[in-house]
């Protein structure tokens, strides 16, 4: 029986994909990516990390795909260093929690948006204590109907399914569209050697629609 703690992308009749348990389909993700692949010119996020997710039977609760000390990694399992994004650039990267060394956690709850702005730009309700060296991290799963938030709109992130917009400088609060609440924030810090990014706890709220 499939593990209902996992997630998957299911094609919607009206277009786009939504997040649903129990597992994420590589085929669905690949199709979704192909659908937005030509949108780079209008500000889509590079989401190659999401394409790497598979049907592997890795279970995780919808709040606790990260725990204190979990390393952030790319789709190949490479740990994310503090110099991955340029300081103050506003750039973003899709990251995943590390399941074990050299391997990302492969569930639908896992995709995470990592951004790096100047520290002074973050405002309430951002958990500033959960940011580090200008980095902040948020769940990539839209709180409206579970599509993946994959486009940029200025400094914000936009869901391609129903145009919900989130502001990462204000705790990923909703600034447009039908989403009922902010994207959960992942508190992050640096590893003991000061070189890598790690979670300092789980997401601060449930992932996706409730």
Tell whether 45 is covered by a domain.
yes
Tell whether 210 is covered by a domain.
no
Q: Is 52's pLDDT higher than 80? A: no
Q: How confident is the model at residue 76 (pLDDT cuts 50, 70, 90)?
A: confident
Cis ω for the linkage preceding 22 (within 30 of 0): yes
Q: Which residues, in sequence order, are bridge partners of residue 94? A: 113
pLDDT at 39: 39
Tell whether 25 is covered by a domain.
yes
Highest mean pLDDT: which range of 43-47, 57-61, 105-109, 165-169: 165-169
Tell whether 150 is covered by a domain.
yes
pTM across the whole model = 0.75
**What is the mean pLDDT of the segment spanning 39-64?**
42
Alpha carbons 85 and 115: distance in angstroms, whole number? 8
Q: How confident is the model at residue 64 (pLDDT cuts 50, 70, 90)?
A: confident
Tell whether 19 is covered by a domain.
yes
- Concatenate the DSSP letters of all residues of 94-162 into one string: EEEEEEETTEE--STT--EEEEE--GGG--TTS-GGG-BTTEEEEE-B-TTT--B--EEETTEEE-TTT
Q: Is 44's pLDDT higher than 60? A: no
* DSSP-derived 3-state class of residue 184: coil
Q: Which residues, in sequence order, are bridge partners of residue 152? A: 157
**What is the mean pLDDT of the segment spanning 109-133?**
93
Tell whether 181 is covered by a domain.
yes
Q: How confident is the model at residue 24 (pLDDT cuts 50, 70, 90)?
A: very low
Q: How confident is the model at residue 13 (pLDDT cuts 50, 70, 90)?
A: low
pLDDT at 98: 92
Q: How far apart, in Å, do the first and last CA atoms of the chain sit?
A: 23
Give the domain CATH number at 19. 2.102.10.10
Instruction: List, for residues 129-177, the tens digit of each pLDDT value.
Output: 999 999 999 999 999 988 889 888 899 999 999 999 999 999 999 999 9
Nearest C-alpha neighbor of 94 from the set 42, 29, 154: 29
Counting residues of the chain whose pLDDT is more than 70, the rounded percentage is 70
pLDDT at 14: 56
Number of domains in the chain: 1
Tell whether 24 is covered by a domain.
yes
Tell whether 205 is covered by a domain.
no
What is the extent of the structural domain holding 22? 8-199
**What is the mean pLDDT of the segment spanning 111-137?**
95
């Amino acid at each position: 029986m499939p593990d209902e703690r996992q997630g998957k992308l299911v094609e919607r009749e009206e277009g786009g994909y939504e997040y649903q348990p129990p597992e994420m389909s590589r085929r669905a993700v690949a199709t979704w990516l192909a659908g937005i692949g030509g949108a780079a010119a209008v500000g889509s996020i590079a989401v190659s990390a999401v394409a790497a997710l598979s049907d592997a039977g890795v279970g995780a609760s919808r709040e606790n795909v990260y725990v204190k000390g979990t390393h952030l990694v790319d789709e190949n399992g490479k740990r994310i260093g503090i110099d991955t994004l340029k300081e103050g650039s506003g750039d973003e990267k899709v990251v995943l929690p590390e399941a074990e060394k050299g391997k990302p956690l492969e569930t639908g709850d896992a995709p995470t948006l990592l951004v790096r702005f100047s520290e002074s730009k973050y405002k309430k309700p951002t958990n500033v204590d959960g940011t580090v060296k200008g980095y902040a991290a948020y769940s990539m799963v839209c709180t409206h109907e579970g599509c993946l938030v994959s486009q940029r709109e200025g400094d914000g992130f936009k869901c391609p399914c129903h145009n919900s917009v989130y502001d990462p400088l204000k705790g990923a609060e909703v600034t447009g569209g039908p989403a009922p609440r902010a994207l959960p924030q992942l508190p992050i810090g640096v590893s003991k050697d000061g070189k890598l990014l790690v979670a300092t706890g789980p997401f601060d709220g449930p992932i996706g629609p409730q």
